[in-house]
Amino acid sequence: MKKTSVYLGEEDEARLKRLAERGGLSFAAIVRAALREYEHRHEQPRISLLAGQFASGGKPVSQMTAEEFDALLEGFGA
């Protein structure tokens, strides 16, 4: 691991100290856990990044007949 410094205001420092004492953890362990949690909450599945980005000009897939859906997939190996 690599050592680094983090600047905290008085309230954040007090919060970190309380969490460390309550959980029996080091400041560093809490910061690492918080970083993992932050990353997890802000990651998006790749497919959701594209959702709604393209207008097909057609009707929604949920309203297509089987034939229309098959035609939509032509050329995609389906």
Structural domains in the chain plus CATH codes: 1-50 (1.10.1220.10)
Average pLDDT over residues 73-78: 70
> pLDDT band at 5, cuts 50/70/90?
very high
Handedness of CA 36, 37, 43, 48 (dihedral sign): positive
Please report the pLDDT score of residue 43 as a whole number: 77
Please report the pLDDT score of residue 8 as a whole number: 95
Which amino acid makes up residue 44? Q
Model confidence at 78: pLDDT above 50: no
Read off the tokens for 69: 């859906």
Give residue-wise pLDDT tens across range 14-70: 999 999 999 999 999 999 999 999 888 877 666 655 566 566 667 777 788 888 888
